[in-house]
Chains A and B, each alone.
Chain A
């Protein structure tokens, strides 16, 4: 699941020349913007059948924390 998430997230960010780390603070990526954010929420809904509410998402800081939030919501 982690691998799928990271691959899909890289596609949204249009990153092909480097890997994402679980400890990365995703809002600090140069590629991060409001459109990337919407695409990310849509991707999580589509791939993992999970909707992360706006208020909840604001608390997430790292790539790993998004993955954890998806896992928690799935269980």
Chain B
């Protein structure tokens, strides 16, 4: 049972960066009629998405967020002992993108750097991992860089996924602090459904061959090749509406948390139908569950920190707030984490 109560660690700041280029779903030729577009918006809540231009990587978005956050915090770079980069869209198959970012950010060579390969559960997994590393008190300051450029992995001819996703990169700063309340987290995995969201070719299991590039039409009318990501909407939907509420309830019960004192429940945002289903199953009031789907879409691992920066910036900079965050997706992998922010540094949303 991966329940963890990690003390002596606090969140010091948070920042996010999105591409300035916006793609309006209403302009996509994927939708045959205005009625079809309207049905899509009514169901998913997604009107537009920030989409990277060619050549911009998740690490570039995370780099901007990290630079701004370090400056706003007034941290000195040599103090940063640990850097974790979480993404499904790394720069290279090797080396780890965290290593590239260590140099680019001008961090010390004595900084421990590693990648975590996770998507929509990534921020929850990342913050738990970084907190656990810092809790011993030997590493003092750490950066969690979570970013994805999911749009580059989708076929523009795949109606079932293309209009849903947007790109973003985020930075979350954690520090060892003996008086901090810490975080409480629970993490889960179901590798039995590893094929529910997958890019089939390009790894060691199925290396790239000429066939990898062949565009094929699938039964739901979507057209993609084996280097573009596949998403089994039905499996992922049933997974989300059952596991997300269940794991939030497990977290609350296991640690004896009081749901009334939680100010905000932040979920990975996949689409409005799924997220509203999760919210109503947990009987949470709408004002405690902010969404950014309308203007950003599904931004994979960044949904949770991007929502904090976009929708709660002033509040978390000025007041103490309690959160429960829950991420769920590719892996399949999911988890929830309870944490506090006490007047943290929250940088202005960056657009590049």
Contact = CB atoms under 8 A, between A and B. Distances in A.
Interface string A21-50: 000000000000011011101100110000
Given A34-B233, A58-B234, A51 B241 contact: yes
For this complex, into which size category does the number of interface residues on chain A fall?
10 to 19
Contacts of B237: 38, 41-42, 54
Given A38-B43, A38-B237, A51-B238, A45 B160 contact: no
B320 to A, nearest CB: 36
A55 B40 CA distance: 24
Given A35-B39, A38-B233, A54-B235, A45 B241 contact: yes
Contacts of A35: 39-40, 43-44, 273
B232 interface: yes
B235 A53 contact: yes
Interface string B31-56: 00000000110011000000000000
B209 interface: no
B235 A38 contact: no
A25 B159 CA distance: 23
B139 interface: no
Contact of B273 (A42, A53, A57): A42
Nearest to B44: A35
5 contacts: A38-B237, A38-B271, A38-B274, A53-B238, A57-B234
B138 interface: no
A7 B98 CA distance: 54
Contacts of A38: 43, 233-234, 237, 271, 273-274
B160 A34 contact: yes
Nearest to B273: A38
A41 B238 contact: yes
Return the 3 tightest CB-CB contacts between A and B, nearest first: A54-B235, A54-B234, A35-B43
Interface residues of B, number: 24
Given A42-B273, A54-B237, A57-B238, 16 more contacts: A34-B160, A35-B40, A35-B44, A37-B234, A38-B233, A39-B273, A41-B241, A42-B274, A42-B277, A45-B277, A45-B281, A46-B280, A53-B238, A54-B236, A54-B238, A55-B235
Nearest to A53: B238
Contact of A42 (B40, B44, B160, B241): B241
Contacts of B281: 45
A55 B237 CA distance: 12
Interface in B214-252: 220, 232-239, 241-242
A52 B237 CA distance: 10
Contacts of A42: 237, 241, 273-274, 277
Nearest to A27: B219
A55 B236 CA distance: 11
Interface string A4-18: 000000000000000
Interface in B84-99: none
A35 B234 CA distance: 10
Contacts of B274: 38, 42
Contacts of B40: 35
Nearest to B220: A34
B194 to A, nearest CB: 13
B234 A39 contact: no
A55 to B, nearest CB: 7
Contacts of A55: 235
Nearest to B159: A34
A39 B238 CA distance: 11
A58 B234 CA distance: 9
Interface string B259-277: 0000000000001011001
Interface in A41-75: 41-42, 45-46, 51-55, 57-58
Contacts of A58: 234
A30 B39 CA distance: 15
A2 to B, nearest CB: 22
